[in-house]
Amino acid sequence: MVLGPLLRRVSIKSAITASVAVFCGLCLHAQTTKRTVNPSPADYAAAAEATNVKHHAWPANTEAAKTMKGMGLSNAHGDSAAQAVDTAAPDSGGPRYPADLQYHGGPVAVSMKNHLIFLHPNGGCTIAGCWGDPGRFLRDLFQSEFIHVVDQYTGSTANDRYTVAREATNINYTPPSIPFTDADMQAIVHAVVVSREDDDDGFATGYGNEYHVFLPPGQDECFDSTFTVCYSPDKPSTWFFCAYHGSADFKDIGHVLYSVEPFAGVMGCSSRPGTPNGQLADSTNNVLSHETFETITDPDGTAWWNSLNRGLFGAEIGDECAFVIFFRNPNPPPPLLEFFDPSNVTLNGKPYAAQPEYNNAAHACTTTP
């Protein structure tokens, strides 16, 4: 996957401006240390040369998404659902249920530091006002029993192996006239990775790191410059996904895991009303949880996913448990309103709403191991 024409690369690069502040992951007070990150022509060139680019998207609750087969939102699990097998196969532990995930030989993220990147249009959009507190949510998730659902897939039961980087990156930018693309997200991530080289010994890349890019309200984003498969609430005909996780190989910094979380507080991506932290924050938390669990268990599309059942072919740990709920619309059309329906969970002593994840050991969607 490459960027569009050179003029597009330059215009998007110019849109992302310098003023990048670094602040604590809890977003409760400012840090004294600040880092400036300017995605440069070199970052866009690196994205254009990236290879083995994989992505797996979470479909939106939209009419456009319902017309596309699930495989159309992923390039990581082969190109044909015909590879699926309808019948369950027995194994030494008894019958293998069709909904169980199968292992396809690829790497998983046994431990992982999570890096948060927030894009602010023209310097606006506070963390709390546009996303809630995703850093706090991830920290509480990683200190809970819920995260240990992944133990059976990663082969480790150790505590404290998933963490959140102390500093998050805050990018001010001028919104472009056309949607961002996945290549733009790669360029942003590349710039952040390169800027942090001095923090540790070398680049913070590989299967031990993931970069989460949060987009503000009103910012569309598409897989490529054809602008046909997108997060685009303002253009329903191309609105197919709510978020996705991906990976890519860069020539200079190596293998990078990342996710893209567009604004979740819109009909089509939001969670049901009445959640513990409010609809906006818990919609963000639900999407972030979904993508984080999927990155851990299937970072490149070569590890754990469903290949036995046509109805669920290509589904990852989060896809199988992304339940929805309908409310009657008091002002139709449409006659019904559709929301994601996460579970109420307590993580590290704090209440949240986050969807369960598929648990092979229980043959069910659970929030406990």
CA distance 130 to 278: 12
Helix, strand, coil tally for the chain in percent (to 5): 25, 30, 45
Cis bond leading into 334, ω under 30°?
A: yes
- The pLDDT-based confidence of 196 (bands split at 50, 70, 90) is confident
- The pLDDT-based confidence of 334 (bands split at 50, 70, 90) is confident
Residues 293-327: pLDDT tens digits? 999 999 999 999 999 877 889 999 999 999 999 99
The domains of the chain are located at 6-366
Q: Tell me what pLDDT residue 336 has.
A: 87
Question: Which of 88-92, 299-303, 306-310, 335-339 has maximum average pLDDT?
Answer: 299-303
Lowest model confidence (mean pLDDT) among 44-48, 90-94, 189-193, 321-325: 90-94
Query: How much is the mean pLDDT over the chain?
Result: 86
Q: Which residue has the higher pLDDT, 58 or 78?
A: 58
- Beta bridge pairs of residue 231: 221
Is pLDDT above 60 for 360? Answer: yes
Instruction: Output the six-digit token pair for 49.
Output: 């040369």
Q: Tell me what pLDDT residue 309 has.
A: 79
Residues 26-47: pLDDT tens digits? 333 333 234 557 789 999 999 9
